Chains A and B, each alone.
Chain A
């Protein structure tokens, strides 16, 4: 989709980008990361011709962008910048409608598109469409910024430290929104940041740059597992084993676990405890509701008379959550294993701390 070939950019005597080549596949989110002045933003700006390469070329969909009128090219590429740059004299809707208007879309079509996009970025159209940028919080403004970039449904999206100016809570909200949007739209995105956690969370491919050169590129897992040199190791941080767990889904470590229902006869339930310690207990909807310990004096009756009931959140994780989150919950609750549930909150199996340590 995007091919950067031997790109070099010099400012007078200073080489900002030195002969870099890169392929970004369709639907891939590529995060360019590196310390300030490493050339990542310059590279991004070459893609929509805000910067002209000194040498080398860029192809989008096989076409050399130096042959495309910059104005036409830019209308086909979404662009999000760190300080948002919303037009203060236009409402959120008018801001979003900018590119469709430049492309002379039909009015009704623009209206529908704006409403769809506001919903997509998590802003209620009725409440937000008529608001001016001055009335929006930083996070809301950047949501509008993202919607504006997506307005004309571009295939390519360029995001230049889009969440860099936000507070940590808002930033992680927007990161999660982006993950959701990307899973829906599958755009080809080049995302620039200097935040390694952001890169690991979002990227299909990470490109680590230093002094205008690519030091290492690959999937976040590769980067964490096999850093090519000390610079990469330092950059990804000493906690890279933990970071890798944040990339692994709970389902990878999920193993089947026996369970009984609240109304199971207690003597049958005791026989099913195969680990000799406990068995999970589910309610009538197969939603985990607690556990049954093996040590009981001559039990009679049903499971519900003996089991420990706990609130759902305390001892379950969803299969889609990261192992890091599961680990966090285990530490917080002081337990060695958690129930894994599927999207409908039904019991799927369990994940244990021993498995995480041994298998990762």
Chain B
């Protein structure tokens, strides 16, 4: 991977911490002991943290992947001359998706497709759409008028202007939008556990229901580490793009 030619120490440190905790949640045992009520289990045992982590990654990867594909497509579409009229509608829908509490979206989606992973994916997909649409629109609109005028005046076609000029210049902002969306989704995905989607939300839910603080810590720490790691990973992409034009 050319991307990590210069090994990023922080990134590997975060990955190491995440994996270590996922395999050995007992590492924070003193903390569990300090916060647990008498007679409670200290370590979540219905499933290993590692497999919950994998589930969680799949949930966010799948939903954010869809959000990214549709979000970027919609963002691109509404910045073209043909799609300009839809800009208002699309951004409005995006913002509405963002304002609805994820639990509500989850409840509505569950009403349609039943319990489990599906409604969670739908909720996460809708929830992650807006930052990506917003980022795409912002990135494409930020490309200077003079740059586009020059491109047009030199005889680039519409699609060449888009592919060779607009998209590379907007890439950084678009990816920043994707990053925001993914990080939000990593956190939001925990509520999927409420309707049986699994993931790192499971110990948190179990902890909340049974008033078991160590479980909440285990889910929370794992989600936190995953979010921080992912944020760093995508940031590196952004920096790479920026470095590309010094």
Contact = CB atoms under 8 A, between A and B. Distances in A.
Q: Do A and B bind each other?
A: yes
B152 A87 contact: no
A88 B246 CA distance: 9
A98 B149 contact: no
B153 A75 contact: no
Contact of A50 (B147, B152, B157, B169): B152
A13 B2 CA distance: 57
B246 A134 contact: yes
Contact of B157 (A71, A81, A135): A71
Contacts, number: 67
Given A50-B152, A89-B168, A83 B245 contact: no
A85 B150 contact: yes
Interface in A128-167: 132, 134-135, 145, 148, 158
Contact of B160 (A50, A83, A102): A102
Given A83-B146, A132-B246, A134-B246, A88 B153 contact: no
Contact of A102 (B154, B165, B168, B246): B154
A85 B245 contact: no
B150 A86 contact: yes
Interface string A72-83: 111110010111
A146 to B, nearest CB: 12
B156 interface: yes
Contacts of A86: 147, 150
B112 interface: no
Contact of B146 (A81, A89, A158): A81
A75 B245 contact: no
B144 interface: yes
A99 interface: yes
Interface in B120-165: 144, 146-157, 160, 164-165
Nearest to A88: B245
Contacts of B148: 85
A48 interface: yes
Secondary structure of the B contact surface, majority rule: helix
A84 interface: yes
A52 B168 CA distance: 30
Size bracket, chain A contacts: 20 to 34
Contacts of B168: 89
Contacts of B146: 81-85
Contact of A79 (B154, B169, B246): B154
Given A85-B150, A89-B244, A132-B245, A99 B144 contact: no
B154 A75 contact: yes
A67 to B, nearest CB: 16
B149 A73 contact: no
Nearest to A78: B154
Interface in A53-110: 70-76, 79, 81-89, 98-99, 102
B154 A88 contact: no
Contacts of B155: 70-76, 99, 102
A330 B189 CA distance: 84
Contact of A87 (B151, B153, B246): B151
Contact of A85 (B147, B157, B160): B147
Contacts of A70: 155
Interface string B199-235: 0000000000000000000000000000000000000
B188 to A, nearest CB: 34
Given A74-B155, A79-B154, A89 B149 contact: no
Contacts of A145: 150
Nearest to B167: A89
Contacts of A148: 154
Contacts of A87: 147, 150-151, 164-165, 169
Interface in A148-190: 148, 158
B147 A88 contact: yes
B171 to A, nearest CB: 9
Interface of A: 48, 50, 70-76, 79, 81-89, 98-99, 102, 132, 134-135, 145, 148, 158
Given A75-B155, A87-B165, A89-B168, 9 more contacts: A71-B155, A72-B155, A79-B154, A81-B153, A85-B150, A85-B151, A132-B246, A148-B154, A158-B153
Per CB-CB distance, the 10 closest pairs between chain A and chain B, nearest first, are A85-B150, A74-B155, A75-B155, A79-B153, A85-B146, A83-B146, A89-B245, A89-B168, A85-B147, A71-B155
30 contacts: A50-B149, A70-B155, A72-B155, A74-B152, A75-B155, A79-B153, A79-B154, A83-B144, A84-B150, A85-B144, A85-B147, A85-B148, A86-B147, A87-B147, A87-B150, A87-B164, A87-B165, A87-B169, A88-B147, A88-B245, A89-B168, A89-B169, A89-B244, A89-B245, A98-B154, A98-B156, A132-B246, A134-B246, A148-B154, A158-B153
